[in-house]
């Protein structure tokens, strides 16, 4: 059984995959989450097969809202494990390899 943080990251990855341009080979989401968890700022980029980087805006209106909820859930899991609350994350989805990575910053 996977831990809650891995399950949450898989859901984030699926949302990003579903909302990214079809030509995306890699999807990068940067998010800054308020300490209260009531506001989140997002940036979205993708890399195509030629290695070109471009920004995109998810077309599904609920994507940012749902991503925010999942990020709050992810941070709450870390806090429940006696970790400090992170403020910023960069989530990278490698579409071809079906793998993700997440980098967290605490300041």
- Cα R_g (the chain), whole angstroms: 14
Residue listed under structure tokens 């859901």 = 11
- Residue 79's domain is classified under what CATH number? 3.30.500.20
Output the pTM of the full model: 0.91
Cα distances (Å, whole numbers) of residue 86 to 36, 91, 100? 11, 13, 18
Tell me the HSE value of 51 on the side-chain side, using a 13 A CA sphere: 0
Q: What is the pLDDT along the chain (107 residues), one digit of tens a residue?
A: 668 789 999 999 999 999 999 999 999 999 999 988 889 999 999 999 999 999 999 865 668 889 999 999 999 999 999 999 999 999 999 999 999 999 999 97
Domain residues for the domain of 101 are 4-105
Tokens of 18: 């579903």
Instruction: Check residue 50 and give its pLDDT.
Output: 97
Neighbours of 96 (CB within 10 A): 9
Instruction: Check residue 67 and give its pLDDT.
Output: 93
Instruction: Check residue 36 and give its pLDDT.
Output: 87
Give the chain's domain count.
1
Pair 24, 48: CB distance under 8 Å: yes
């Amino acid at each position: 059984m996977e831990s809650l943080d891995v399950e949450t990251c898989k859901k984030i990855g699926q949302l990003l995959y579903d909302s990214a341009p079809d030509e995306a080979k890699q999807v990068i989401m940067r998010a800054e989450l308020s300490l209260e968890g009531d506001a989140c700022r997002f940036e979205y980029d993708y890399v195509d097969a030629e290695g070109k980087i471009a920004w995109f805006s998810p077309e599904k209106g609920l994507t940012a809202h749902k991503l925010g909820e999942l990020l709050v859930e992810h941070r709450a899991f870390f806090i429940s494990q006696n970790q400090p609350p992170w403020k910023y994350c960069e989530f990278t989805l490698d579409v071809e390899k079906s793998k993700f990575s997440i980098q967290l910053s605490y300041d």
